[in-house]
């Protein structure tokens, strides 16, 4: 993010009127989340006691997000700012500082055991060293930690709602356990050889580790990176050699490169997957649970062709 942009955002935010906190008990707590998946989790835990805004909305790419004065104003009026961490949104802390936000910031991934990726798999993120994979929500067992962290943070902010936040968290954790069992059951029929998938960028590392699937991608963990011709050629050779038919694009990625790879290998692209962002309400991934169920179903159908 450019320095001029930060100064501009700061001025815009500071010139905006502060939101007055209502004394009415039913007034929802304003919470800002960095991207749509986090916003969904906060809403589930917070229920009617919170009003959540996502800076990066459905089908949008947090890797390439450019904040606006309205985003700075939203953070300034929030009582809690929730981010993923793990270097997923390096712009978030800078934006909060430029907006003169003085409230608490929750790093929702706190406690997650991060995955490291070698430099050659982390295009645009690593500067020649191993990089942390930030997409921890792709493993539903990690999301249990996200939800617990959110419940704890909201309870600290709003002690009167603590019991409700805990109940919502406990109920959602049971749903996450059901989701995890569903994924395992759906994948059980696949052989180790079939468990290979090509996706737009390398966002499925935690999913792959949880369910023993090998994901390959022309881009690294960030959609900002551009793969080299050598890397693309290597991927094409591997698709042909291993006869991989499970090839998918993502809702917030440019499909052109993967479409060309599919054409060069004679593979038909599978249905769209949802990775770093929810879908619009009219599409099949409008919540985190729906997103994961959709992805599991589509991935299994694709891998059965391998």
35 and 145 assigned to the same domain = yes
188 and 205 assigned to the same domain = yes
254 and 135 assigned to the same domain = no
160 and 192 assigned to the same domain = no
Write down the pLDDT at residue 145.
98
Please state, in angstroms and as integers, the Cα–Cα distance from residue 60 to each residue in 79, 124, 134, 166, 279, following that order. 24, 19, 16, 30, 9
Write down the pLDDT at residue 130.
53
Write down the pLDDT at residue 291.
98
Q: Can you give the pLDDT of all 306 residues of the chain as single tens digits?
A: 444 455 545 445 444 444 434 334 469 999 999 999 999 999 999 999 999 999 999 999 888 899 999 999 999 999 999 999 999 999 999 999 999 999 999 999 999 999 987 554 544 444 334 589 999 999 999 999 999 999 999 999 999 999 999 999 999 999 999 999 999 999 999 999 999 998 877 889 999 999 999 998 775 444 455 667 777 777 778 788 778 888 887 765 556 777 777 788 888 778 889 999 999 999 999 999 999 999 999 999 999 988
227 and 121 assigned to the same domain = no
Write down the pLDDT at residue 5.
53
- What's the total number of domains in the chain? 2
Cα(first)–Cα(last) distance of the chain, in Å? Answer: 42
Write down the pLDDT at residue 22.
36
Q: Which residues on adjacent β-strands are paired with residue 133?
A: 115
Angle at 283 between CA 279 and CA 284, to 5 degrees: 90
Domain boundary (134, 152, 179) is at 179
196 and 104 assigned to the same domain = no
297 and 219 assigned to the same domain = yes
CA 216, CA 197: separation in Å to the nearest integer? 6
162 and 38 assigned to the same domain = yes
CA 41, CA 146: separation in Å to the nearest integer? 8
54 and 149 assigned to the same domain = yes
121 and 159 assigned to the same domain = yes
Tell me which residue range forms the domain holding 111. Answer: 3-179
Domain boundary (159, 179, 199) is at 179
Domain boundary (143, 162, 179) is at 179
19 and 157 assigned to the same domain = yes
Write down the pLDDT at residue 244.
84
162 and 18 assigned to the same domain = yes
Q: What is the CATH number of the domain that holds 158?
A: 3.40.50.1980
The CA dihedral of 216, 221, 225, 229, to the nearest 10 degrees, is -20
Q: How many CA atoms lie within 13 Å of 275's alpha carbon, on the beta-carbon side?
A: 28
Q: Which pairing describes strands 196-198 and 131-133: parallel, antiparallel, or unpaired?
A: unpaired
For 133-147, give the DSSP string. E--GGGSHHHHHHHH
């Amino acid at each position: 993010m450019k320095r001029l942009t930060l100064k501009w955002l700061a001025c815009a935010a500071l010139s905006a009127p502060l939101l007055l906190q209502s004394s009415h008990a039913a007034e929802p707590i304003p919470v800002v989340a960095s991207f749509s998946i986090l916003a969904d989790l906060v809403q589930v835990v917070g229920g009617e006691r919170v009003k959540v805004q996502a800076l990066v909305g459905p089908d949008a790419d947090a890797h390439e997000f450019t904040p606006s004065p309205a985003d700075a104003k939203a953070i300034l009026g929030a009582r809690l700012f929730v981010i993923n961490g793990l270097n997923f949104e390096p712009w978030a802390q800078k934006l909060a500082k430029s907006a003169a936000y003085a409230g608490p910031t929750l790093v929702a991934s706190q406690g997650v055991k991060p995955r490291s990726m070698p430099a050659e798999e982390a295009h645009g993120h690593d500067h020649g060293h191993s990089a942390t994979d930030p997409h921890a929500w792709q493993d539903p067992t990690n999301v249990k930690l996200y939800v617990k962290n959110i419940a704890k943070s909201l309870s600290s902010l709003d002690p009167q709602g603590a019991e409700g936040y805990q109940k919502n968290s406990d109920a959602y954790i049971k749903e996450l356990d059901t989701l995890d069992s569903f994924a395992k059951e759906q994948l059980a029929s696949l052989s180790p050889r079939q468990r290979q998938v090509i996706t737009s960028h390398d966002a499925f590392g935690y999913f792959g580790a949880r369910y023993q699937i090998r994901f390959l991608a022309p881009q690294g963990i960030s959609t900002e990176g551009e793969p080299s011709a050598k890397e693309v050629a290597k991927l094409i050779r591997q698709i042909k050699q291993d006869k991989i038919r499970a090839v998918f694009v993502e809702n917030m990625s440019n499909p052109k490169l993967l479409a060309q790879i599919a054409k060069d290998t004679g593979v038909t692209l599978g249905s769209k997957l949802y990775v770093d962002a929810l879908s619009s309400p009219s599409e099949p991934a409008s919540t985190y649970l729906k997103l994961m169920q959709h992805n599991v179903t589509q991935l299994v159908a694709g891998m059965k062709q391998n």
